[in-house]
Chain A
Amino acid sequence: MNSPTPAIEIKNLAYAYRKAEAVHDLSFRVQPGRCYGLFGRNGAGKTTTMKCLLNLLRPQRGLARVFGLEPGKAEVEVKRRLAYVPDQLAFYPWMTVRETLDYLASFREHWNQKKEQELFDRFGLHPSKRTDALSKGQRTQLALIAAICPEPELLVLDEPTSGLDPIVRREFIETVIGAYQEGHPGSRTILVSTHLIAEFEGLIDEFTIIDQGAAVLTLEADTARERYQRIRARFSQAPPEMELKGALRVRREGRELELIANGGGPPLMESLRKHNPETLTTEALTLEEIFVAALKS
């Protein structure tokens, strides 16, 4: 089978700052057109991984490829086709918003003016304002305009919404969906790292949870929600002792029993049913709950 070149490929990646290993044997792959989540706690290795993709760091072991290219060897080609919104935004403080965008646009061969205007209107940003007078939310909006107007094939977002108020966060995500994703689906790939998972829930196609520099879990979002279930049963008396094979976690409280299942939901439901519960319900875990379950077990 001839599969398309992945937009991103990370294979056995390792990187250590002096002796502190930040990324350890990490592998994942992002197909073009997908929105891929990199979920991890603070210090899990998300930013280090992204920096290896942007040639801001050189992998010490393993490989990092963007559009099949090595960022260290084809830096210009790679950066031409992607845009990066870092977690620490830096602009020249003496430039205005307008000057900043003109400056950034000068490095790009393509810049969608219409989109720029649309985003200015949406955010209500003042072109004549100096960047050192912008709020954190406005700085993020400026960075997002700068990332979207070149209409890159790949958008790399590092903790884009942390520290922002809920309105700005909501707008940020709507803008990524509306302004960025509008275009040929195969050339609109997103890699987003975050620990604020809930707000990206609807956007994520596939994700990797990383912890201490290594992948803990890689799944499609729909598959994950189908596989991870919370099962609740209430009995007329204290829950009977029974073997609950395959349950990730069991909580007992009075006459109630709560299980977290990873894939083994149906047989667990079956064995609970045999004890005639008064009620028996099941619901999917959200991606955030899956994140917690994966890191706690």
Chain B
Amino acid sequence: MLFQINFKSGMPVYLQLVDQVKAAAASGELKPGEALPSIRPLAEELRLNRNTVAKAYAELESLGVIESLPGKGCFLKQNHSPLRKEIRRKLLIEEIDQAIVMAHHLQVPGREFLELIQQRMDSFEHKRRANEEHKEK
């Protein structure tokens, strides 16, 4: 997969990598069992500190998104969060609350906000299906 780093986003660089892997997994762009680029070539290509890339991969591993096989590299795991359901829900609620606060400040009314969520979910579903069809060919 191809990563893109934006220093102007104000987000820590390693988190940008973490988020991009998570997004690629959610959209099916990256499939379970598929390999991630190795740390060294990725760091060189993005001209990022090697430790930044290593930190991102360590974070993804502790989140259960990827697994690292010694001598082989890092691979996307089957989607099995190691967290209990209530904790997973709690984490999601925090993110949703953030988005609701944002919607309030951007004057996006509740109904429109819900429509947007539906739209975005459809969009991810669409991408995921497209990625799966591509795989079957």
Which A positions have Cβ atoms within 8 angstroms of B? Answer: 33, 35, 170, 173-174, 177-178, 181-182, 185, 199, 201-205, 221-222, 225-226, 229, 273, 282-287
Contacts and interface: CB of A to CB of B under 8 A. Distances in A.
Contact of B43 (A33, A170, A177): A177
A287 to B, nearest CB: 8
Given A33-B51, A202-B5, A203-B49, A178 B10 contact: no
Size category of the B interface is 20 to 34
Contacts of B47: 170, 173-174, 177, 199, 201-203
Contact of B7 (A35, A185, A284): A284
28 contacts: A33-B51, A170-B47, A173-B47, A174-B45, A174-B47, A177-B40, A177-B43, A177-B48, A177-B49, A178-B40, A178-B44, A181-B43, A181-B49, A181-B51, A182-B40, A182-B50, A201-B7, A202-B13, A203-B47, A203-B49, A204-B49, A221-B13, A225-B10, A226-B10, A226-B11, A284-B9, A285-B8, A286-B8
B8 A283 contact: yes
B52 interface: yes
B63 to A, nearest CB: 19
Contact of A202 (B8, B46, B105): B46
A192 to B, nearest CB: 11
B44 A205 contact: no
A211 B44 CA distance: 31
A221 B48 CA distance: 12
Contact of B48 (A170, A202, A225, A283): A202
A202 B51 contact: no
A202 B43 CA distance: 9
Contacts of B50: 177-178, 181-182, 185
Contacts of B36: none
A287 B51 CA distance: 19
Nearest to B50: A181
A235 to B, nearest CB: 16
Contacts of A287: 7
B16 to A, nearest CB: 10
B33 interface: no
Contacts of A284: 7-10
B12 interface: yes
Contact of A205 (B5, B7, B49, B105): B49
A185 B51 contact: yes
A89 B13 CA distance: 34
Contact of A273 (B11, B48, B105): B105
B18 interface: no
Contacts of A285: 8
B26 interface: no
